[in-house]
Amino acid sequence: MKKNSVYIETYGCQMNVADSEIVMGILGNNGYELTQQIKKADIVLLNTCSIRDNAEQRIYGRLGNLKKIKSNKPNMLIGILGCMAERLRKDLIEEKKIVDLVVGPDEYRRLPELIDSAFNGEKGIGVKLSRTETYDDIIPYREDGLQAWISVMRGCDKFCTFCVVPFTRGRERSRDLNSIIDEIKLLSSRGFREVTLLGQNVNSYMDGSYDFSDLLASSAAVDRSLRIRFTTSHPQDLSDKLLETIASNTNICKYIHLPVQSGSNRILEEMNRTYTIEHYLTIIDKARKLMPNVSFSTDIISGFPTETYEDHLATLDIMQKVRYDGAYMFKYSPREGTKAFKMVDDVSEETKSKRLQEIINLQQQISLEINQSLIGTEDIVLVEGESKKSELFFSGRTDSNKIVIFPATIGIIEGDYVKVKINRATSATLFGDLVEVISKRETEVNSIAV
Ligand code: 5AD
Ligand code: SF4
């Protein structure tokens, strides 16, 4: 009997979520089936993340659990995919005896072959990086739903000194524009309502003479009731043309994730971020002139080597100046192989934590103030389903990616666009009342019983 049931667990960023769908696309074409139950699986795959040490520690913890499961089921294969596979390679197999497969992000096409050899008792290792692999022709495995992620480019050439991604995901390469548009057409016909174009650095997208603005404009033209989002943007490549494209297309969300990392020019230089705070603020100003309602989110690292208290204050200052709608905030974590790894990690753990807490507190206060200023306003919400806490409420998102909770109403299903009037706000959530239905989802899938 063919051993063909696969359980896959995904860690880390949305690129990994998209990659897991590609993996299941490849395995599906080769006769494998997805299972949601680990105990029924012949093959357990962990799609891993190396961005910070704590991400890797979580995977090691998980491998500890899997060891117990495997002791009752010795024929089950365990595979490590993604960034950790690339970073640790054979070490993973030598150190963690229960790992049978180690496959990096550019070798997923070889998975069926590597799985076969692993079932035959050899370890399956595929960790070469490629300059060309984009999985353009693979149709990712996706359940029906509202939101889909499409990776439009892979890798990163920026080499920020703290970041392991250029080493684990290799050089930048872009997918063919037409294949992306075909994928969006397919998603639209299946009733999807939101597509996020993904890349470590989406603004560097290039297919012949088509740049990322061209890709965004063509994606938006497929179906005007399909929201288009994108992430992540690098401040160095965020062009005027791109801002104008976002502004002039109603269904491109007016929401830009623009990692700043630090507010200090000296630290930005040490990080090799290639922009200054002044340049960064010019982009924010331009965007706000073109789109008064545009929202920004960011990534911030606290405690990069040599960061002084003044540098930290500069980070708090840029947060006050931009007033981000949201932020992902991290303590600096040294990653082997990166340039910063050779610097002395001289900010103590205690100081890193203290600074991070100040950054988090400030962001919460800013998010709360922004959200409270929205009380009394109306906004369009894409209904995503019942709220997590109660079936009497629906949850959805605004164009600016804010979660809105409002009373469940008969006749409204997930995928509808509705107008909601905001009447209460916390730093993370808006609450409101339904004003009117703006547009119904055409397919009758996934209706919600009220
Ligand atoms: N330590 C802490 N944060 C990091 N990031 C990337 N590398 C590191 C690191 N070594 C953060 C950056 C990046 C986000 C995806 O993760 O803020 O934008
Ligand atoms: Fe890492 Fe910098 Fe590339 Fe982002 S732009 S993936 S932080 S190297």
Confidence tier at 3 by pLDDT (50, 70, 90): confident
Question: Of 127, 144, 36, nearest to 90 (Cα)?
Answer: 127
DSSP string, 121-151: TS-EEE----SS---TT------S-SEEEEE
If you average pLDDT over every residue of the chain, what do you get?
A: 95
Residue 333 beta carbon below 6 angstroms from any ligand 1 atom:
yes
Mutate to test the pocket of ligand 1, among 233, 268, 299, 332 (most ligand atoms within 8 A of CB): 299
Residue 449: the pLDDT is 39
CA-closest residue to ligand 2 atom 1: 163
Residues 6+ apart with CB under 8 A from 269: none
Distances (CA, A) of 174 to 132, 177, 377: 8, 9, 40
Identify the residue whose tokens are 């666009």: 417
3-state DSSP call for residue 11?
A: coil
Distance CA 303, CA 349 (A): 8
| Averaged pLDDT for residues 117-127 | 92
Q: Which residues pair with 425 in a beta bridge?
A: 430
Q: Whose CA is nearest to atom 2 of ligand 2?
A: 160
Instruction: Answer whether 397 contacts ligand 1 (Cβ < 6 A).
Output: no
Question: Do 249 and 201 contact (CB within 8 A), yes or no?
Answer: no
Q: Which protein residue has the closest C-alpha to ligand 1 atom 18?
A: 299
CATH pick for 144-253 out of 3.40.50.2300, 3.30.750.210, 1.10.10.10, 3.30.1540.20? 3.30.750.210
Q: Average pLDDT for residues 94-115, to the nearest whole number?
A: 93
Tens digit of pLDDT for each residue in 167-205? 999 999 999 999 999 999 999 999 999 999 999 999 999
Whether 8 contacts 140, CB under 8 Å: no
pLDDT at 344 over 90: yes
176 CA → ligand 2 middle, Å:
22
Q: Is the pLDDT of residue 446 over 50?
A: no
Whether the CB of 156 sits within 6 Å of ligand 2: yes
Q: Which ligand is nearest to the CA of 359?
A: 1
The pTM is what? 0.94
Where in the chain are the domains? 5-126, 144-253, 287-373, 378-439
CA of 86 to the centre of ligand 1 (A): 18
Average the pLDDT over 223-231 and give the result: 97
pLDDT at 98: 87
Q: Is the pLDDT of residue 445 over 60?
A: no
Atom of ligand 2 nearest to the CA of 299: 7
Tokens 């708090």 correspond to 316
The answer to whether 144-253 and 287-373 have equal CATH topology is yes
pLDDT the model gives residue 447? 41
Contact of 195 with 184, CB cutoff 8 Å: yes
Task: Look up the CATH number of domain 287-373.
Answer: 3.30.750.200
Q: Once rounded to an integer, what is the mean pLDDT over residues 385-407?
A: 95
Taking residues 403-418, report their average pLDDT: 95
Mean pLDDT confidence for 368-394? 96
| Dist CA 440 CA 450 (whole Å) | 17
Distances, alpha carbon 138 to alpha carbons 133, 151, 376, in Å = 11, 12, 46
Rounded CA separation 252/246 (Å): 6
Is 60 exceeded by the pLDDT of residue 128? yes
User: What is the average pLDDT across 117-121?
Assistant: 92
Pocket test residue of 51, 151, 163, 332 for ligand 2, highest count of atoms within 8 A of CB: 163
For the Cβ of 299 lying below 6 angstroms from any atom of ligand 1, the answer is yes
Query: Which amino acid is it at 179?
Result: S
The CATH code of domain 5-126 reads 3.40.50.12160
Q: How far does the centroid of ligand 1 lie from the alpha carbon of residue 209, in Å?
A: 31
Q: Whose CA is nearest to atom 13 of ligand 1?
A: 299
In the chain, % of residues over pLDDT 90: 92
Alpha-helical runs (H) found in 252-308: 265-270, 277-290
CATH second-level architecture of 378-439?
Beta Barrel (2.40)
For the segment 421-432, the average pLDDT, to the nearest whole number, is: 97
- Which residue bears the tokens 């002395």? 344
Say if residue 442's pLDDT is above 80.
no
Tokens of 308: 């002084």
Say which residue the tokens 């950054």 belong to. 359
Q: Whose CA is nearest to atom 2 of ligand 1?
A: 332
Distance in angstroms (rounded) separating the CA atoms of residues 121 and 123: 7
Strand, coil or helix: 175: coil
* Structure confidence at residue 450 (pLDDT): 36
Condensed to tens digits (0 to 9), the pLDDT of residues 267-293 reads 999 999 999 999 999 999 999 999 999
Q: What are 228-267's pLDDT values in tens digits?
A: 999 999 999 899 999 999 999 999 999 999 999 999 999 9
Give the chain's radius of gyration (CA, Å): 23
pLDDT grade for 419, boundaries at 50, 70 and 90: very high
Q: Which of 169, 151, 30, 14 is nearest to 107 (CA)?
A: 169
Region of 431 on the Ramachandran plot (φ > 0 left; ψ -120 to 50 alpha; else beta): beta
Report, as an integer, the average pLDDT of 4-30. 96
Q: Residue of the nearest CA to atom 7 in ligand 1? A: 163
User: To test the ligand 1 pocket, which listed residue (16, 49, 50, 51) has its Cβ within 8 A of the most ligand atoms?
Assistant: 51
